[in-house]
Structure 1
Amino acid sequence: MRLHEAFPNRQHLPFGGISIILIGDLAQLPPIMDKPIYASCSSAIALWNLFTTTVSLQTVFCQQGIELVQARFKQILTNIRNAQPEQDDWQLLMTPTSKELTPICYKRHVAISEAVNVRSQPNGEYEDEQLEKQILLCKGQQIMLTTNIWTKAGLVNGALGEVVDIVYEYGSKPPDIPTYVITIINNYTGPSWNPTYPKLVPITPISMGNRRQILLKMAWAVTVHKSQGLTLQRATIDIGATERQGLTFTAISKVKTLDDLRTEPGFSFERYCKMQNNPYTIIRKQEETRLQQRSL
């Protein structure tokens, strides 16, 4: 619909006549409060069925390694992806629940960064979901970027990192917005700001909508939905009491090895088995079979 708006002369063509490539994994989570596209309304399915060329990627890059333990972890993930809960898998996942992941502890002063309204609104509202109204900052804090800054260099919405320092103009202090926040962004691949620390990146404030603020938020915890597309160095996960298509698979597949994972609180085998009862799981598996049959 948006492409029809952008290309009104080609409204009679799907996607306004623009070439479209869809990239993703049907076994991960569908959009929040929505159905998977392959099980959606008839018009969405009609558009979905227009895609006739499929390329299937088979190599697992996140959980690399041929060690016995790593092979076992990959098999667990395969079973979860296929919604085939095994008691041996569940018992192995529950084993690390008593193992502590070494916490990163800091004692630091916390600085508040209050957003600035860059232009007035008649109703007095200054909401902009991409920029936080108030941010708490401290050295050593785990943070996440909240929008795309430089996609090619890894500075994208959801990128994780850590605060190294907070810099203010002379005479400014909290709750003023910092001049910039020095961060280490784990996925950064651009030019080195400091050759000694190649992933060091200064993040400056920007204006979006009616608000000016630093493009960061605290990230000591993220939802399973928000973790899609991320690879975490280590994680403590809580998959909750209910299951959505792909929730357990998405949560557990975010780490590289089983040693990087802790489940807290632990979950019962009955909860683990809920992955196979989701109504969209059978539809998803049928759709994957259909796509695989026409894969290049």
Structure 2
Amino acid sequence: MQEFEPATDQLDEAWDAIQHVADLQDAWAAINPQGEQQRLDDQLDRNLVQDSDDEFAEMEVPELQSRQNIHQGDQPRCAIETCDPEITEEQAQHMMRQLNEKQRQVFNHVSKWCDDKARDQSVDPFQMFLTGGAGTGKSHVIKCIQYYAKKVFARMTESAEDMTVLSLAHLGTAAFNICGQTICSGLKINPKSQKEYKPLGEESLNTLRVKYRHLQLVIIDEISMVSTTQLTYIFGRLQQIKGTYTDFGNVSILAVGDFYQLPPISPPTPLCFPHDEILKDIWNPLFQIVELKEIMRQKDDAIFAQMLNRLRERKKKQPLQKTDKELLESRRVEENNLTAPPDALHLFYLNKDVDSHNERKLASLNTEMFTIKANDVDQRGGRIIQVHETPHRTTRADDTSLASYLKLAVDARVMLIANVDVSDGLCNGVPGIVKGIEFCNSQNMPIVVYVKFDSDRVGAKTRTTQFIPPHYAGCVPIKPRKESFKVRGRTFTTTREQMPLKLAWAVTVHKVQGQTTDQAVISMKGLRKSMAYVALSRVTHLEGMYLMDYDESRIFCNEDIEANVAKMPTCDLSKANPLTEIDHNTNFVIAHHNIQSLHRHIDDLKRTQK
């Protein structure tokens, strides 16, 4: 020891002294900024599991959950509208024939650009903002555009694996809805990125350049939850990847969402608002708006649909229409002796109300309950400082979603709280039911929890690559996960091992955006602007809506949305279809030399007469 470590005691004293005067990572970054940036990029590759939806510190918001009756034969009470990754041409044409007039105009506009781009690489890109209230079919338009764009751009690539269309979303569940990726994983953007854009390291950049060398179109869903910082990084990443300073690297952007729904987390300012804190306002000068107004989701309940449209834009002091007031009050649980189904999805504003409901449901199960304690290990400079018998008490501000203590039982409703594998649907927020909990030597931490997810698509790949006992057929094995974080107020790093699950009979309004449900019990206590509309519009029909703590003053929007959206330029869709400019009072002839398959598309031609 004296020969190889002659100054061990002095080094330990110096190390302890450094901890009190400096942040070692910041010091290393100052000495070797390029090396530190590459280290961060590599860390991001290994551990892109946290979406920034975990930063609702002041709101105490839990994760996304959908509800399904656990009895065999019942249908899911809450469903994620997922896009089939591989659809046939016949299925795609059926989807396109379902487009209403406005949706078809949007599709024609984008498809014409795809055709022009495939013929001429010099065609200018577009930046479109497709908006509309909940249920207006925005996701349906995305599916049609995805299919057509990939089909057209396939001619330009050398391999079928080359990516030409990239679909992104802020949350893992929203990304899964459109068969895409989270913004963080798709473009290697750290969820904790600062406002000032930091370029990607060369090694990671080369990987993305190869992957996206034929990229032509980026679709960003749930754009209302994207912050100015994220959009700045998307802008910069695409410029880096394509090696050009043109807007978004000369890649077209289709942004889809509704600013009347939930805003970004930090800062909570929608993209359509002026942003003085950034050098360049990317949104306002570039994006052109198209609004869908015909509601498709509640098309069998026209009165309910019309009410939702009015509530979407209702001002805070604006009185409710008499008919809307009567409809809402008719669904009050307290006043009308309504009894909500016991397994209906419950929506709350605060995390404590969600936890209270979940604990009551857990206690009602007739199965053994387990309390799983997290394994916490403190580390400094790669060295283990302390292995804790009792885990740290953590909050959302401590930058970890893994719980100190987790209560589980067979038949418990749970959801994933980490992006284990977004491409396989194992993303932050997908719901399911615990079917088995297996331990090994330790009775504290299970080696695996078998979860039957509501969607068969979730974990489909995992089920084929891992052994699953016959009595757990259809389930997905969820194993303990490790995350590193800093406990608030401390300088060292803690690594926590815990099951990436959370009880989820109830959810918050924040995390139900992007889903639909047949039945929901909605508590209006504490709801802020836009939240009531988001909650109410998740239900597909009036009879499935149950209101608790009813307070009509909680139903209001952000009044500045309308004025700021009105400032956006409108996208001209008329040029996409020349037939729309023809005077239909006169006769005209369509001549085409290739009519072999005309009989198959005569219905499509008739639909363009409008």
TM-score bracket for this pair, using the shorter chain length: 0.7 to 0.9
**1:79 counterpart SS class:** helix
Letter in 2 for 1:15: G
- What code does the residue aligned with 2:269 have? K
Q: In structure 1, what residue type is equivalent to 2:370?
A: A
CA–CA separation in structure 1 for the residues paired with 2:447 and 2:325: 49
**Of the candidates 478, 496, 500, which is equivalent to residue 215 of structure 1?**
500
Which protein is bigger by CA-based radius of gyration?
2
Deviation at 1:137, TM superposition (A): 0.4
Cα shift readout 1:117-146 (whole Å, capped 9, x = no counterpart): 255355986855121221110122221211
Partner of 1:172 in structure 2?
Answer: 442
Q: Which has the higher contact order (CA 8 A, sep 6+)?
A: 1
Q: CA deviation at 1:152?
A: 3.1
C-alpha change, 1:196 and 1:138, in structure 2 (3 Å) is closer
Match in the other structure for 1:205: 480
Partner secondary structure for residue 250 of structure 1: helix
Are the structure 2 counterparts of residues 148 and 21 from structure 1 closer, same or farther at C-alpha, using a change threshold of 3 Å?
farther
- Alpha-carbon offset, residue 64 of structure 1: 4.7
Verify the 8 A CA contact 2:413 2:431 in the aligned structure 1: yes
| Corresponding residue for residue 30 of structure 1 | 263
Per the TM alignment, residue 225 of structure 1 is displaced from its structure 2 partner at its CA by 1.5
1:21-72 alpha-carbon deviations (Å, 9 max, x no partner): 53322111112462222225233871112533556566756x3552xxx222
With structure 1 as the length reference, what TM-score do the two structures score? 0.78
- Residues 80-116 of structure 1, C-alpha deviation per residue, up to 9 Å, x if partnerless? 2232742312321222223222214533332111111
Alignment match of 2:450 (pick from 182, 187, 190): 182
Counterpart in 1 of 2:339?
100
Q: Does 1:149 align with 2:420?
A: yes
Is the Cα–Cα contact under 8 Å of residues 166 and 182 in structure 1 kept in the other structure? yes
* TM score, norm. by length of structure 2: 0.41
Asked whether 1:225 is paired with 2:505, we answer: no
Over the aligned positions, Cα root-mean-square deviation in angstroms equals: 3.5
Distance 1:250 1:147 in 2: 24
1:152-179 deviation per Cα after TM superposition (whole angstroms, max 9, x unaligned): 333221222222221212x432xx1211
Secondary structure of the corresponding residue to residue 231 of structure 1? strand
Match of 2:532 among 245, 248, 251: 248
Name the structure 1 match of 2:460. Answer: 191
Secondary structure in 2 matching 1:113: strand
Q: Matched residues in 2 for 1:158 and 1:50: separation?
A: 34
Checking the alignment, whether the CA contact within 8 Å between 1:149 and 1:156 is kept in structure 2 is yes
- Whichever residue aligns with residue 282 of structure 1, its letter is E
Following superposition of structure 1 onto structure 2, how do residues 1-296 of structure 1 map, counting pairs within 5 Å? Answer: 1=195, 4-6=198-200, 14-16=235-237, 17=239, 18=248, 19=251, 22-32=255-265, 34-42=268-276, 43=278, 46-54=281-289, 60=295, 63-66=297-300, 70-83=301-314, 85-98=320-333, 99-104=338-343, 106-118=365-377, 120=379, 128-169=399-440, 171-173=441-443, 176-189=444-457, 190-191=459-460, 193=463, 200-209=475-484, 210-241=495-526, 243-244=528-529, 246-268=530-552, 271=553, 275=556, 278-283=558-563, 285-286=565-566, 290=568, 293-294=570-571, 296=573
From the superposition, tell whether residues 75 and 199 of structure 1 become closer, same or farther in structure 2 (CA, over 3 Å): farther
Amino acid at match of 2:442: S
Q: Is the 8 A contact 2:274 2:281 kept in 1?
A: no
Over 3 Å counting, the alpha-carbon distance change for 1:41 and 1:129 in structure 2 is same
Identity, % of aligned positions: 25
Greater helix proportion:
2
Residue pair 1:203, 1:214 contacting (<8 A) in 2 also? yes
Contact map agreement 2:259 2:561 (CA 8 A) in 1:
no
The SS at the match of 1:225 is helix
Structure 1 alignment gaps of length 5 or more: none
Q: Deviations over 1:1-34 (max 9, x none)?
A: 575332699x9x9424155553322111112462
Output the CA distance in 2 between the equivalents of 1:257 and 1:263.
13
Which ranges in structure 2 are unaligned for 5 or more consecutive residues?
1-194, 206-231, 240-247, 344-363, 485-494, 574-610
Contact 2:516 2:539 in 1 (8 A): yes
Give the partner amino acid of 1:6.
Answer: L
Structure 1 residues 89 and 208, CA gap change in structure 2 (3 angstroms): same
Call closer, same or farther: CA 1:81–1:108 in 2, change over 3 Å. same
